Structure 1
């Protein structure tokens, strides 16, 4: 994978997202496979035609998209963006390419929260990818953290993934530091809010950024968890997330899995 190839994939994926704002079909026609586009956003019908058919409506409601960070892992491109779609939202979109065309798409979208306990926004922070040579090690570390801690397999290892209390948090309801994470989890337990990760579906990483896509329950609702981590010197240093409830079967517009 050359640097230019990475850039090309990011350029195409970004152009497709930005076309949701412009209403112009060129990028979708040029970069999305005409027969083979698998849509995992269950609020949308399958295939490229459905996407093209939604363009006018998206433009009319004033959809806006501003891509803030991108990472490429093999044939996968992850875009982390601010949307205006029935109000300000944060989105993470995943595109899979085959022979230069987009053939598959997953995403999560969440209301943007203005005032967070950490004082960071849900999207700010570093955007430039560092440590390309550490991609595999960082993906391994993050996968181990998700399985050991978020899935609860080895909770006693928690401190080993962090550099003391140095942990920058962009999740909208959690303060900075491991202390902030601990406080938030305690609050959920006290309110008897069920919060559980049950399946890890994807680990996508480039350099110091790693995205995990997980399935679980939040407050009894089947939920998709997209967690984006930044790793520095072998420790988890920063975290963003986008959490979205999974539509019940009767509201789904396609029969593909959410994951």
Structure 2
């Protein structure tokens, strides 16, 4: 993997890898956890979300496994009660290219990869822990899909780190969701420059700066509003609707070093 691409070969995969594949002309990527034996556990919409009310609804359809007139001989049809499913690697990729998400990257590399949803500053847990979380959520669910607060990338990041944004009124862990919102936001915030300058390059530089700053501050490795939550505790809280309550069983994270 390099600065411009996280593309990898299938032969290089190991259980516990966070992988993804771009959908819809590189607008949206679908994420999952490779668990070995050519299987990927991932979180799909499955019709649970009523909709965002925006053009993004048409993109959400691409978050599911590949659809074919010929049923896959290895993939078992998923249950309808939750959106965590297991698919073979080919169905997960849906004809796309395989990429591996990077963890514990340096701030310089994070900012150099201008596209969100490809890497994070956060540190991953051991691979066996990651696979355990993914399999546990396959049987117990990950709540209701939401493109901004609880999507496939949020699922994969949680499996890798155990970190969760408890307040569901705020943005989730997803870097690509931040990118979707950050671009227009940066353009809006740079607009006042037109009152004092007509320099297009200056406005563009400001927009890029705002976008990079928003991505960096919103990364799961930098946020202060996240907690380390065990997967067993997570599913019990989802069942009771008490996810936002904080108890001693949840370990607060130290403030990031500035």
Q: TM-score range by the shorter chain?
A: under 0.3
TM-score (norm 2): 0.27
TM-score (norm 1): 0.27
Higher strand share: 1
